[in-house]
Amino acid sequence: MDYRKKIGLVATDLDGTLLRKDKSISKEDLDMLTFLGEHDIIRVVATGRNYRKVKEVIPENAPFDYVAFSSGAGIYDCRTNELLYKQNISVPTTNAIIKKLVEKRLNFYLFKGIPQNSYCWYYRGQTICQEFERYYSFHHEYAGLLPDDGEVDTDSCQFLVMFQEADAYYKLKEKLEREFDEIKVLRASSPLDTGYVWMEIFHKAVSKGNAIEWLCDLHGIPHSSTFSIGNDYNDLDLLDFTSISYLVDNGPEELKHKYLKAPSNEESGFSFSIRNHLF
C-alpha cells in the first residue's frame, strides 16, 4: 500500500510530545518512525531546542530525515548533517531589543546567530529569578556575560525571557511587536516543569510551521498530506499549518478543543495518532 497518499510528511515536537519525562522515546514510537522511513514518508523533528540540545536526546542513528530546530529558525538535514536553512535577527534590531530589556532590568538570555546558537550571552536583572538561575546551572558552560556596553557585533537567533505570570509576558509581547517589525514573540511553558512562562523572541519569519512549509516545497509534498503533533503554545504555528494536527493529552486544556486528541507523551501518543490515519 502507498501510505504516502495519506501522509507525506510527519512533524513532531520533542519535549512533552515524542520524548517521555526521562527524555527517552518509547519502542512503539521508534518502531513507527522506522516504518514511516521504510515507506518514504518524511520524518521531521520540530523543536524549540537548538541543534546541540537536540543531539543530547536524539542519537546519531535516530530515524529522522530533518531537524527544524530553535522553533524553525534553522533546518538540518540529518542524512548529510548539512545546515539547509537559517533565519537570524539583524544586529541593529538585536541591540535595540537588548536596550529595552536592560532598561526594564529583566533577566534574559541572548543566543548567538545560527550556526553558533548553542552559545549565548546572559544578563541578570534587578529581581532574582530562580528559573533564570536554574537554566544557567544547566547551560553555564555555553553562556557568557552580556558586554558591559549592552551591545553585540553579530546577529542573533533568539532572546529568552522568563516570567512568573502570563500577564507580564503579554504586556511585554505587545510592546515589543509594536515597536520592532522584524520580530515575533512566542510563548512556551517551562520545560523545567516550574510553571514559569517563557518568552522567546525570533525573527518574524521563524516558526515551526514555516519550516515545515519550506520542507514541503523542497520535496513537492502537498499540504493535504502533512501531519504534526505537539504539546504546547510554541507548537501552534506547526499545528495550524499541517492538515492533520494532534495535541497530546498532557497539553494545555485551553488548546485541546482546537486539535485532534492523542494520548500523552508517556503513552506513545505519537504512534497512536499516526495509526489513526494510516491503518
- Residues 191 and 102 placed together within one structural domain of the fold: yes
Mean pLDDT of 37-56: 95
Domain that holds residue 33: 3-87+206-278
What pTM was estimated for this model as a whole? 0.91
- For 55-101, write each residue's pLDDT tens digit: 999 987 889 999 999 999 999 999 999 999 999 999 999 999 999 99
* CATH number, domain containing residue 145: 3.30.1240.10
Nearest to 260 by CA among 213, 235, 222, 228: 228
- Determine the pLDDT at residue 30: 96
Q: Going by C-beta distance under 8 Å and a sequence separation of 6 or more, which residues neighbour residue 5?
A: 225
Model confidence at 165: pLDDT above 90: no
Total number of domains in the chain: 2
Comparing CA positions, the residue from 69, 66, 60, 99 lying closest to residue 87 is 69
- Do 194 and 98 share a structural domain? yes
pLDDT band at 135 (very low <50, low <70, confident <90, very high): very high
Band of residue 1 on the pLDDT scale cut at 50, 70, 90: low
Average pLDDT over residues 252-263: 96
The answer to whether residues 218 and 81 belong to one domain is yes
